[in-house]
Each structure stands twice: as structure tokens, then as C-alpha cells.
Amino acid sequence: MTNVRQPPRLAFMGSDPIAIPLLDWFAGGGAECARLVGVVTGPDRPAGRGQEVRPNAVKAWAAGRPLAVMQPGRPDEAALGALAALRPDIVLVAAYGHILRDAFIALPRLGTLNLHASLLPRYRGASPVQAAVASGDAVTGMTLMRIVRELDAGPVAGEERVPIGPLDTAAEVESRLAAAAVTLLARSLPLLERGQLSFAVQDHASASFCRRLTREDGVLDFCAPARALAARINGLSPWPGVACDVAGVQVKFGLADALDGGPAGPPGSVLGADALGLLVATGLGVLRVRRLQRPGGRMLDAPEFLRGFPVAPATPLPSRPMPALVAAKPFGR
């Protein structure tokens, strides 16, 4: 009698929408690489303007599927027992938001792996996509590593690189990273099952760190160079978004680029507009804001926005200190 290969049993831990293409893959062609048997995700929470309690993206995806779904407030003993009952061969973690204890890490026979949306050791922490775009990087990627009890510090099995264009927002880059996760896992899981997936220790001395973002991060100091300001606007779009007081109205900036040279003016002064955007003087170069949004409105391309909300040349835009998004050490230490 011929033994029929059974793919390894996989449990997924995460809550972020970036995981949805990967979960779709596991439910389809990826089932040959690993059989998804359950998900561990965050509790339902209030969301939106009405603060209605809603499931997160992973819970919503799992609804109605033949999967075990667990939503512990934190990975405690009860969660460990429920996870163990699934008998996973692999536990895969992506944007789960908790550092797992040794008992969780040691549970599956093939290991507990983590997908992190940066090219480690760069941007360990909670906002790696936004950090890469806001830092002006030309490339980022999805990294697969073993989990250890230190923030995103485990040995790396592989990465899938993703380009960042000058007009890419964090949302667009995240979409590419989500697709890159599928490519990375399709390549890596068969090797893991055969015991052929190798892991390399990270260069910890080169590590950088990012943190959870807040609305207070969405500010601009117009004394900074235009390229840095454009990168920050794009990196924080759509969340938490960059907003600026324009003639007494808090206007959100959704996309920007930088122009070299240009007419002189005090940093933060409006210079006018061209066919693509609102032009603002900075400490170096000209910031061109290409998408804007009024309170209660929708994000519009600059020409359409300016037809309904003209901004006169020499209008001053106030500067505010910009909190650091990246550091050489974990924030709070």
C-alpha cells in the first residue's frame, strides 16, 4: 500500500490585512505546501467613525471556513492549549503584535516562523512598510525568519524584494509585499518540510527599529528638504496620514513628490501650483503635493481639489516638529 503524502499542518497567527493574499493561497494552490488548520487573531474591536465592534481582516476571512478560529486577548496558557490541540507542524506569524513565549515557539515540530515586512535587520518593529517609504528607500521586501524572544531578531531563511517607486504610498507597497509573501512561502515551505531550509543569523549591529504610529506623527516641518517631506507624506498614506493647516482648514496630504530648484520663498510658503500639484517652498527644493483632502471629503488629485479650494500664493503653512519614525535602538529603551 502506497503512503499518500500529507502536507504539514499549519496554524497562522496574525490580524493584519497584509496576510489575506497568503491565506487565499493556503486555501487554494498553497494547500499542497501546507494545510491551514486554524488561525489565532486579535479580538473584535471598535472601528470606524461609529466605533462599531468589528472583526479584523483575518477573522473576517476565516468566517464560514472549516478552520479553528481563536481570538485571545493575549497569548496565555489557555491560548497555548488551544493551539496545541490543533497539532500544528508549523506555526506562521505575521503582524500578530505579541512577543511569544518559549512554550509557543517550541510547540510545532517544524518550527515557529515569522513573516516581517522589511529587509531585516532594517526596520524591526511595528511599522516597517511606512518606515521604508518614509525613509525614501528604493527597495524593501518580505523576510521569513525563525522566531526568538527578541523583537524581529531571529535567524533569516529568505527574503523577497519589492521596489519602491517615487510616487508609491505605503498602501501600494504593502499590497506588493502581500504578494511577495506568497512567493516567499511557496519557495520556502517545501524546503522546510524536507529539512533543507537554511537560516542565517542577522547582523544585529546593523539593526534599525520602528514603532507603532499615531496621528501625532502626521505633521511636517517645512525646513526639512522637499524629498524628505514627500517621502513622509507617501509613507504615512493612508494611515495615519499627514495633515496641515491650510488657511485655517486642516487638509490631508495624500501624495507628494519633490522638485529641485524652483522659486525662492520662506519654508512653508505656497508658491502656486502646476498641472500636477500644489507647490510649497521647503528648506531644500520644492514640495509638490499631488493629492489633497478636505475634512469630510475624499482624497482628490490636486487640480480637482484646487478648483474647489483655491490656495493663494504666499499662503503660509505652519511647520511642526516631526517625530522620528526610525531609531538605532528599540523605542522606549
Sequential DSSP letters for 231-251: HHHHHTTTTT-EEEEETTEEE
**Nearest-angstrom CA–CA distance, 264 and 270:** 11
Average pLDDT over residues 244-273: 93
266: exposed, middle or buried (Cβ count in 10 Å: 0-12, 13-18, 19+): exposed
pLDDT recorded at residue 46: 83
Specify the pLDDT at position 89. Answer: 98
Within 8 A by CB and 6+ apart from 49, the residues are none
Domains and CATH numbers, the chain: 9-210 (3.40.50.170), 215-308 (3.10.25.10)
**Closest CA relative to residue 99, chosen from 110, 85, 112, 86:** 112
pLDDT at 53: 86
Per-residue pLDDT, averaged over 70-97, amounts to 95
Instruction: Identify whether the C-beta of residue 143 lies closer than 8 Å to the C-beta of residue 132.
Output: no
Kindly tell me if the per-residue pLDDT of 262 is higher than 80.
no
Q: What pLDDT is stored for residue 179 in this prediction?
A: 98
- DSSP letter at 89? S
The residue among 98 and 251 whose pLDDT is bigger is: 251
The model's confidence at residue 42, banded by pLDDT at 50, 70 and 90, is very high
Q: Which residues pair with 272 in a beta bridge?
A: 279
Q: Does residue 58 surpass a pLDDT of 80?
A: yes
Average pLDDT estimate for 235-248: 97
Size of the chain, expressed as the number of residues it contains: 333
Average pLDDT over residues 247-275: 93
The grid cell for 234 is: 507617501
* Chain mean position to CA 77: 29
Whether omega for the bond prior to residue 72 falls within 30 degrees of 0, making it cis, is: no
> What is the C-alpha to C-alpha distance for residues 4 and 20, in angstroms, rounded to an integer?
29
Question: What is the C-alpha separation between 235 and 228, in angstroms, rounded?
Answer: 10
In our burial notation (b when 16+ CB lie closer than 10 A, e otherwise), range 41-79 reads bbeeeeeeeeeeeebbbbbebbeeeebeebbbeebeeeb
pTM (whole model) above 0.85: yes
What is the SS3 assignment for 56?
coil
Break the chain down into helix, strand, coil percent, rounded to 5.
25, 25, 45
List, for residues 293-308, the tens digit of each pLDDT value: 999 999 999 999 999 9
How would you classify residue 152: left for phi > 0, otherwise alpha for psi between -120 and 50, otherwise beta?
left
In contact, 176 and 122? CB cutoff 8 Å: no
Q: What is the pLDDT of residue 2?
A: 57
Task: Check whether 1 has a pLDDT greater than 60.
Answer: no
What pLDDT is attached to residue 91?
A: 98
Residue 126 has pLDDT above 80, yes or no: yes
CA dihedral 271, 274, 277, 280 (to 10 degrees): -10
Residues 6+ apart with CB under 8 A from 114: 92, 93, 94, 144, 145, 146, 147, 152, 154
